[in-house]
Structure 1
Amino acid sequence: MPYVRDELGGLDEVCPRVLAETGCPSVSVAVAADEGPVLARAYGWADVAAGRAATPGTAYGLASVTKAFTALAACLAADRGLLDLDAPLPGRYGRTAPTARQLLRHRGGFPAYYDFSYLPAAEPVPIDTDCYRRQLHEPGGVFEYANLGYQEVARLLESRTGRGFGALLREWVAEPLGLAGFAFGSVHPGPAPVAVRYTPDGRVYPPCRNGHPAAGSGWATAGDVARFARRAAGLLAPATAAAVLDAPAMSADGGLGYGLGRVVQRVPDGSVISSHGGGMGGVASMVIDLPGRGLSVAVLTNSTDKSARNAVVDHLMGVLAPEFDPAHLAPAAERNRPFALPPGRWSGRVTAPGTTVPLTLTTLPEGRVEIRLADHPPTTVPAAASDRWDVRLAAPLQLPTPEALFNSPSLGLELRLQDGDLTGRAVAFKDGDREGFLGPYLPHPCALRRVV
């Protein structure tokens, strides 16, 4: 497709400019077609200190783009009769057992959650993922982007095959598709050169372990990722390939849907655009499939800041698919609406592993809320709402639990008003990595009763 190469010639001007403007060390871009690679370019530094340039052969962390690989493995297992996508998973769950299809669609009832540890491999991870492995609502209903759901699918695949999940991805996905640079784990084992991961201000990230690797611990070159997106459906039975793009809307107002490891946009001419993005410490990644044009695109960067990734994606889609919805870049983001909680005071507790923490919330004029957490002095912060929540806020308050004290110094609240009381969750998190490294995101049930 020489016309595509000609149209994308502007990359040589756009990408260096974007790197200079955003401070991102490097970006790798690839476009693949049904008949093979179309374009592979890399710009900037894979390793700044060593002066090692990024090349099309450089592997990058994929973060949540890994979910598309995990979903493909589950679909292959279904085609091979090893699992039923619509059968409840075995094991004990706090609510109804979810199905693999529900988990892959982020409708298994699990909350948003992640944990990152940068301790040496010999030291234990300080957060027990199983303490947060609980459903907060019944499966099959509300969409909630959940790393834990993908890890549940990986556990199921390991139990059904007797294989480690990394070996399964290599044998079922990477080798059949010819993804030579693909790897799975907290570090890339080589032989492909790897991009060093950086904070937005240029500090190097150490190796990162987490309790949900099936949701975000993949590595690959941009060419590998583009090839995967273009050829993955060819490994599946036609009905299963169609199921990947069967994507209920993620929100009540319609828009983008989420299928099996793919964000899906239906455009007016009947064609489909599917994608998946990824972001974690030192990683911002994106894969986009344009089946109507027979093309796939991958953009990989080695900075937590998504600005460079987004700018390059905007340029590419402006050339290849102007109908691309920018919401693909942040599909799980909830839209805020004005805060309208009535005046009042609510008091109750946050339920954390092994303990409870007192919390009081008081509404104030002009959309502000006073928060009292444990023995912290009261803090006043602005609040908002969304279609799902009557209270959404973030406060500089430390939840005094061992897991939160590890690296989650802020508190988020998402609460719903029902029969006069507030219920939902309190989240311990770290707001970015301008200082230190990105920390865990730890949700806890929260219930507050109206104080008369």
Structure 2
Amino acid sequence: MDIKKLPISVWLVVLLLLVSGCSRGQTIEPVKAEYADSNLYQHMDLLLAGLVSDFIPGVSVYIETPNGGYAASAGYADLDTLTPMTSQSRIPNGSAGKKLIGLLGAILDDKQLLSLDEPVLPWVPKGMAGRIQNLEIMTLRQLLNHSTGIYEYNDVGELDFIRAQLADKAHRKGNRFALQFVLDQSPYFEPGEGFAYSNSGYVLAGVVIENKLKQPLGRLLHEHVLEPLGLSETFVKGYDCAADDVAAGYFFNMDEPDFVLPYRQRYNTRQLIVNTALADAPVASSAQDMAKLLKSIIVKKQPVNERIYRNMVGDRHLQTARWLPSFMDGALYYGLGVMVEKHEGGVLYHHGGNEFGFITQSVYLAEQDVAIGLIANCGAQDECDEPVIALTQTLITHFFANNSD
């Protein structure tokens, strides 16, 4: 039997078995939903309600199909105030926000305000220029498709980056805060000679774009991306006050007594995450806006045109991606902030985000014209991540199987 053709009723049992045993008396907020297809969504109510646990306080999902949209939520956005999670709830998007930076770069290139293929060296702060190798041959496109070989700031020392975050979690930290961990680190390879997912590349790209255009990244994102696409529930961290008004995020350290976050205690990461405003995880938004953004790129909704589309996900510029998550066991590639997964039945576009206290998923099934956005206020631990990813897989499998019949 092909597991990808299992009916959603069977996937429902699998997912509920996966999350069963996690819940420890947590009160579940009733699921709120707007229905477009009751054949699927009567099961979704059970899936979302079953997902809520000690490790997953709240979840919100938005699905857009050719037959209409669906929004549902369960659990809590804040456990202290018992504020329910709703379809309007926002959380930091983590790396799922990279597609916004990739799209911004492609739009600015299309408007001839910069070039994706010019060296970034002139726009790197002078104090950093001599301490990051290969800047003279490194391009913005390579930063955005992870082909520069630049060192990952999270890999420095024994969790040096998060330790520095925790030491001063009350104050804003921007791109230069993260780049200090990259200075004088040896690259993984020469630019253009490989692929290595690196948040540092997006952080440096944010600095380059700001210096080149002499405008804050937040202003550029609003002018060229958020407002033209009508993403009214997306806000830039460190720039929009509304980006601080997000659901609380929770990390529950069950396994490591010596870890930097408290052992066997639920830790609220909201202040830590919203005060770290980096270009590799630039925004907070709702599940609906996440779904809308990815679909807008692929269907070429204005201001996205054919040239912008090709720069972002066209075959010519895709990098073969290694060690990144796939959903359909297809060949996986990376464009500008978008993963492109080519499988037997077509193409799946996706990019999730995961950081302490938050996890997000955004998916677009091209042949089915289905966009999915999913957010939960937990993250960076298996008890949260595995059920959320399983739910995403369940939805992908359902829509793919229905279209294949």
**What is the TM-score with the length of structure 1 in the denominator?**
0.65
Q: Does the 8 Å contact 1:65/1:278 carry over to 2?
A: yes
Q: Out of 285, 289, 304, which is 1:236 matched to? A: 304
In the alignment, what sits opposite 1:377?
none
Q: Does the 8 Å contact 2:247/2:377 carry over to 1?
A: yes
3-state SS, counterpart of residue 150 of structure 1? helix
Alignment of 1:28 with 2:60, yes or no, is yes
* Identity across the alignment (%): 23
Name the Cα RMSD after superposition: 3.0
Q: Residue 331 of structure 2 aligns to which amino acid in structure 1?
A: G
Q: Residue 43 of structure 2 aligns to which amino acid in structure 1?
A: G
CA distance in 1, matches of 2:241, 2:172: 20
After TM superposition, give the deviation of residue 171 of structure 1 in Å.
Answer: 1.9
In the alignment, what sits opposite 1:132?
182
After TM superposition, give the deviation of residue 65 of structure 1 in Å.
Answer: 0.6
In the alignment, what sits opposite 1:99?
139
Compared with structure 1, are the counterparts of its residues 254 and 23 closer, same or farther at alpha carbon in structure 2 (3 Å cutoff)?
closer
After TM superposition, give the deviation of residue 85 of structure 1 in Å.
Answer: 1.6
Q: Residue 377 of structure 2 aligns to which amino acid in structure 1?
A: N
Matches within 5 A, 1:241-280: 241-245=309-313, 246=315, 247-251=318-322, 255-269=331-345, 271-280=346-355
Compared with structure 1, are the counterparts of its residues 206 and 143 closer, same or farther at alpha carbon in structure 2 (3 Å cutoff)?
same
Q: Does the 8 Å contact 1:129/1:211 carry over to 2?
A: no
1:380-434 CA distance string (max 9 Å, x none)? xxxxxxxxxxxxxxxxxxxxxxxxxxxxxxxxxxxxxxxxxxxxxxxxxxxxxxx
**What is the TM-score with the length of structure 2 in the denominator?**
0.72
Considering only CA atoms, is the larger Rg found in Structure 1 or Structure 2?
Answer: 1
Matches within 5 A, 1:320-335: 320-322=399-401
After TM superposition, give the deviation of residue 77 of structure 1 in Å.
Answer: 0.5
3-state SS, counterpart of residue 132 of structure 1? coil
Higher relative contact order (CA 8 A, sep 6+): 2
Compared with structure 1, are the counterparts of its residues 323 and 76 closer, same or farther at alpha carbon in structure 2 (3 Å cutoff)?
farther
Matches within 5 A, 1:335-374: none
Q: Does the 8 Å contact 2:236/2:282 carry over to 1?
A: yes
3-state SS, counterpart of residue 55 of structure 1? coil
3-state SS, counterpart of residue 223 of structure 1? helix
Q: Give the paired residue count.
A: 321
After TM superposition, give the deviation of residue 131 of structure 1 in Å.
Answer: 4.4
Q: Does the 8 Å contact 1:274/1:289 carry over to 2?
A: yes
Structure (1/2) with the larger helix percentage: 2
Alignment of 1:62 with 2:62, yes or no, is no
Q: Residue 307 of structure 2 aligns to which amino acid in structure 1?
A: A
After TM superposition, give the deviation of residue 153 of structure 1 in Å.
Answer: 1.6
In the alignment, what sits opposite 2:82?
51
In the alignment, what sits opposite 1:442?
none
Compared with structure 1, are the counterparts of its residues 26 and 152 closer, same or farther at alpha carbon in structure 2 (3 Å cutoff)?
same
Structure 2 stretches lacking a partner, 5+ long: 1-33, 123-128, 155-160, 253-264, 324-328
CA distance in 2, matches of 1:79, 1:11: 41
In the alignment, what sits opposite 1:311?
390
Q: Does the 8 Å contact 1:59/1:192 carry over to 2?
A: no
Compared with structure 1, are the counterparts of its residues 15 and 226 closer, same or farther at alpha carbon in structure 2 (3 Å cutoff)?
same
Compared with structure 1, are the counterparts of its residues 191 and 250 closer, same or farther at alpha carbon in structure 2 (3 Å cutoff)?
closer
In the alignment, what sits opposite 2:40?
7
Structure (1/2) with the larger strand percentage: 1
Point out the more displaced range, 1-10 or 106-115: 1-10
In the alignment, what sits opposite 1:156?
208
Q: Does the 8 Å contact 1:109/1:144 carry over to 2?
A: yes
In the alignment, what sits opposite 2:199?
147
